[in-house]
C-alpha cells in the first residue's frame, strides 16, 4: 500500500512539474524565455518559447508583440547561455534553421533590426533607444567599433525627445549609470567613439 502511495505521489509531482509552465499567452512565454536564457542557462527551452511566441504573434499580425519577440530573440542569440552550449548548437543547430553558431551575432543583429523597424513605426522611442543599445553591444562583441558607435549615437538621438522614460526591459547595466544618456556616454568612451559623440552630456542625479 505504501509503495502504491509513493508511486501516486511521484506521478502527481510529475504532472504538476509538467503543467507549471504551460500557457497560451505569448507575452508570458517571452517573459519565461528571458528567464531561461537570462539566468537559468537553458537556451534550448528559451528558443522553444520564443518560436511559439513568434508564431502566435505572426498569426495575430500583432506588431507590438512581434517587435518585442524579435528583440528577445536577438538577446537570446547574444546570451552567455547560448555560448555555453557551443557544442550542442554546432552539432544540432537552432530551431531557426537559418542560424549557425558562428553567425549568431549577425543573426542577432537581423532580429534587432526587425525589432527596430517595428518600434520606429510604432513611435516607441523608449524601446527604440533600447534596441539601438542592444545593437551597439552586439557590434562591440564583434569588434566592430564604428558600427557600435553609430548605434550608440542613434540610441542617444532616439532617447532625446523623452523627458522621463519608464522602460522595464532595459539592457543589463543601464541602471548602474545615473541615467540612460550617462550610460550611453560611458559606453561611447569605453568603445573609443569620436569625442563629438560624447560632447555636451553631463551626469546628473536623476534615476530613470
Indicate the pTM of the whole model.
0.79
Contacts of residue 184, Cβ cutoff 8 Å, sequence gap at least 6: 133, 152, 155, 156, 159, 201
Contacts of residue 175, Cβ cutoff 8 Å, sequence gap at least 6: 207
Q: Which residues of the chain have pLDDT under 70?
A: 1-20, 162-178, 196-208
**Residues 23, 29 contacting (CB under 8 angstroms):** yes
Q: What is the pLDDT of residue 197?
A: 62
Residue whose C-alpha cell is 522614460: 165
Dist CA 47 CA 76 (whole Å):
8
Q: What is the pLDDT of residue 22?
A: 86
Crossing angle between the packed helical segments 26-38 and 63-78, to the nearest 10 degrees: 10
Q: Count Cβ atoms below 10 Å from residue 88 Cβ, excluding itself.
A: 14
Q: What is the pLDDT of residue 170?
A: 54
Is the C-alpha dihedral spanning 105, 108, 113, 119 positive or negative? negative
Where are the chain's structural domains? 24-111, 123-194
Amino acid at each position: 500500500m505504501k509503495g502504491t502511495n509513493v508511486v501516486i505521489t511521484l506521478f502527481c509531482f510529475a504532472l504538476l512539474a509538467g503543467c507549471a509552465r504551460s500557457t497560451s499567452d505569448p507575452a508570458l512565454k517571452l517573459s519565461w524565455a528571458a528567464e531561461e536564457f537570462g539566468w537559468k542557462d537553458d537556451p534550448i527551452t528559451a528558443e522553444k518559447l520564443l518560436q511559439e511566441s513568434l508564431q502566435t504573434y505572426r498569426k495575430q499580425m500583432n506588431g507590438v508583440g512581434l517587435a518585442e519577440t524579435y528583440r528577445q530573440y536577438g538577446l537570446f542569440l547574444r546570451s552567455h547561455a547560448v555560448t555555453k552550449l557551443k557544442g550542442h548548437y554546432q552539432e544540432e543547430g537552432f530551431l531557426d534553421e537559418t542560424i549557425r553558431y558562428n553567425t549568431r551575432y549577425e543573426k542577432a543583429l537581423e532580429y534587432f533590426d526587425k525589432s527596430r523597424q517595428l518600434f520606429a513605426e510604432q513611435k516607441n522611442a523608449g524601446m527604440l533607444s533600447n534596441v539601438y543599445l542592444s545593437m551597439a553591444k552586439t557590434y562591440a562583441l564583434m569588434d566592430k567599433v564604428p558600427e557600435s558607435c553609430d548605434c550608440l549615437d542613434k540610441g542617444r538621438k532616439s532617447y532625446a525627445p523623452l523627458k522621463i522614460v519608464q522602460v522595464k526591459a532595459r539592457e543589463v547595466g543601464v541602471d548602474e549609470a545615473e541615467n540612460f544618456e550617462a550610460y550611453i556616454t560611458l559606453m561611447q568612451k569605453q568603445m573609443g567613439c569620436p569625442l563629438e559623440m560624447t560632447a555636451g552630456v553631463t551626469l546628473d542625479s536623476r534615476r530613470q
